[in-house]
Amino acid sequence: MSIDANLKQVLSRTDCAPQQVTILGATGSIGVSTLDVIARHPDRFSVFALTGYRQIERLAEQCVQFKPAYAVVGDEASAQKLTELLNQASCATTVLFGAEAAEHVASIPEVDVVMAAIVGAAGLRPTLAAARAGKRILLANKESLVMSGALFMAEVERHGATLLPIDSEHNAVFQSLPAGCNQQLQKHGVKRILLTASGGPFRTSPVSSLASVTPEQACAHPNWVMGRKISVDSATMMNKGLEVIEAHWLFDASADEISVVIHPQSVIHSMVEYLDGSVIAQLGNPDMRTPIAHALSYPERIEAGVKSLDLTALSGLHFEQPDLDRFPCLALAFHALRQGGTAPAILNAANEVAVDAFLDRRLSFTGIHHLIAEVLSRVATTDADSLDTVFAADHAARECATQILTQRSAA
C-alpha cells in the first residue's frame, strides 16, 4: 500500500494558487504549529477550515487571523459562543458543529490538504473521510492507524489519497527511507526501523516512586511542548507503543522489524538500519514545525521557523534500551500489535480512559498500565474487518475500563 499514492498528481500540479488546508484539531499544539508554518508562506497555503472543541476563545482568535471559510466545534452551545465572538470581531467565518461537520470540512472538494491532529479516537472518522475524498493527509492522529490500520490504509489506496506522517519519529523514518519505499522493506535493503524515545520525565526516577507521580509531574516533558494526554502517554511510553503500531501500518513493517531505543536528547528523531550495516538518521531540534513543514511542502523544502541544530553545542548523544519494568505500557503495545485484529483498538480505548482517570486523580500513574492490561484480558479480540467492528471493540473496552474504575472506587 502506498504512503503517497498520488505523488505523481502532486508533482504535476501547474497552478500557482495557494493550497487550501483544513486543520482538524487547530487549537492543540500541532494545530498551532501548523498555523505558524502556514503564516510564513501565505503565497503557498491558505486556511480553508479549522476545527476545535474546548478552546473556543483560541479558535476565535485563529479565525480572525486566518479567515477560514469554516470553523467546526463540537456542539451547539460552543457554536453559539464562537459565533458571538466572531461577530464581535466582524469575522465572516461560517460556524458549524458536530461530527458530520468535521467530516464535511475534511472531504469538501475545495480542500487540498488535511492536517489530521485531533487527539484520540475522535479523529478517526474525519481523517477517514479525508482519505475517501483522496486528500493529501498530514497524519498526526496516530489513533486512526492504531484502531483501524488495515481498513484505513485500504481506503488510502482505493481513493488515491496521499498519506504523510507528522509524528516526528515517523516523519524521520520517512525521510530516512529510499524515495518511494514504504513497503517490502527487505526488498529495499532495510533491516529494521529504530524509533527513538526521550524516556519522558521519569526515565531515571526510582520505579518505586512512580506510584505517587502527579498529573503535573507527568505533563512536564523535558523536551517537547505537548497536550496533557500526549504528555502522559509519553511519560508511560504508551505514546511510543502506539507509534510502533502506527509504524507497522505506515511502513508495512512487522513487530520484529521495529525497535525502540531511548535517546534522552531528542536530537535524532528516528533511524533506519540497512542490511549492509548502514544506519541513516534524521536529526533536528525538537520542534514539530520541522515535520509539519516537510509534509506540507513535500517533496520540496520550505523554511519552518526552526532554530538550526548546533552540532558543536551538543555534549553527547546517548542511547539505551527501554526498561519494560519502568515502561510496561510499551510491552502491552507490542503484545497488542502481535495479537492483531481489534486488540490495538482495545488497547487505545483502555489507555484513553486510564489517562483521563489519572488526570482527574481517580487513578494512580502506575494504575494506568494495570487497567489497560486488565481490559485487554477481559475484552475479546476479533478480526477488525469493518469500521463498525472497530468501534464496537472501542466501546466495549471503554465500558470495561469504566466499570473496573467504578468497582475500585466503590471498594
Amino acid 31: pLDDT: 97
- Choose the final residue of a domain: 166, 196, 219: 166
Amino acid 187: pLDDT: 80
Does the N-terminal peptide bond of residue 299 adopt cis geometry, omega within 30 degrees of 0?
A: yes
| Pair (197, 247) in one structural domain | yes
pLDDT digits (tens, 9 = 90+) for 159-187: 999 999 999 999 999 999 987 666 668 78
* Mean per-residue pLDDT, 335-359: 97
**Based on the structure, what is the number of domains in the chain?**
3
| Pair (157, 186) in one structural domain | no
| Pair (162, 209) in one structural domain | no
**291 found inside a domain:** no
Amino acid 147: pLDDT: 92
**25 found inside a domain:** yes
Backbone angles phi, psi at 51, to 5 degrees: -125, 145
* Mean per-residue pLDDT, 86-90: 98
| Pair (18, 70) in one structural domain | yes
CATH code: domain of residue 144: 3.40.50.720
| Pair (205, 114) in one structural domain | no
Judged against a pLDDT cut of 70, whether residue 8 lies above it is answered with no
CATH code: domain of residue 382: 1.10.1740.10
Q: What 8-state DSSP symbol labels residue 178?
A: P
- Choose the final residue of a domain: 294, 313, 332: 313
Amino acid 136: pLDDT: 97
| Pair (232, 144) in one structural domain | no
pLDDT digits (tens, 9 = 90+) for 372-409: 999 999 999 999 999 999 999 999 999 999 999 999 88
Amino acid 316: pLDDT: 84
Number of C-alpha atoms within 13 angstroms, CB side, residue 146? 31
| Pair (119, 249) in one structural domain | no
**264 found inside a domain:** yes
Question: How far apart (Å, rounded) are the C-alpha atoms in residues 149 and 137?
Answer: 15
Mean pLDDT of the chain: 92
Give the strands of the sheet with 190-197, arranged side by side.
Answer: 258-262, 190-197, 268-274, 279-283
Domain that holds residue 127: 7-166
Question: How far apart (Å, rounded) are the C-alpha atoms in residues 128 and 273?
Answer: 31
Question: How far apart (Å, rounded) are the C-alpha atoms in residues 361 and 358?
Answer: 5
H or E element, residue 38: helix 29-39
| Pair (138, 197) in one structural domain | no
Question: How far apart (Å, rounded) are the C-alpha atoms in residues 241 and 258?
Answer: 11
Judged against a pLDDT cut of 50, whether residue 10 lies above it is answered with no
| Pair (152, 245) in one structural domain | no
- Choose the final residue of a domain: 103, 135, 166: 166
User: Greater confidence, 12 or 351?
Assistant: 351
**39 found inside a domain:** yes
**93 found inside a domain:** yes
Question: How far apart (Å, rounded) are the C-alpha atoms in residues 97 and 146?
Answer: 26
- Overall pTM surpassing 0.85 (yes/no): yes
| Pair (200, 142) in one structural domain | no
Do the beta carbons of residue 294 and residue 269 sit within 8 Å? no
pLDDT digits (tens, 9 = 90+) for 278-306: 999 999 998 999 999 999 999 999 999 99
Q: What 8-state DSSP symbol labels residue 380?
A: P
**400 found inside a domain:** yes
| Pair (159, 187) in one structural domain | no
Question: How far apart (Å, rounded) are the C-alpha atoms in residues 67 and 35?
Answer: 12
Which residue type sits at 409?
S
**252 found inside a domain:** yes
| Helix (H/G/I), strand (E/B), else coil: 253 | coil
| Pair (21, 159) in one structural domain | yes
Sequence length of the chain is: 411
**296 found inside a domain:** no
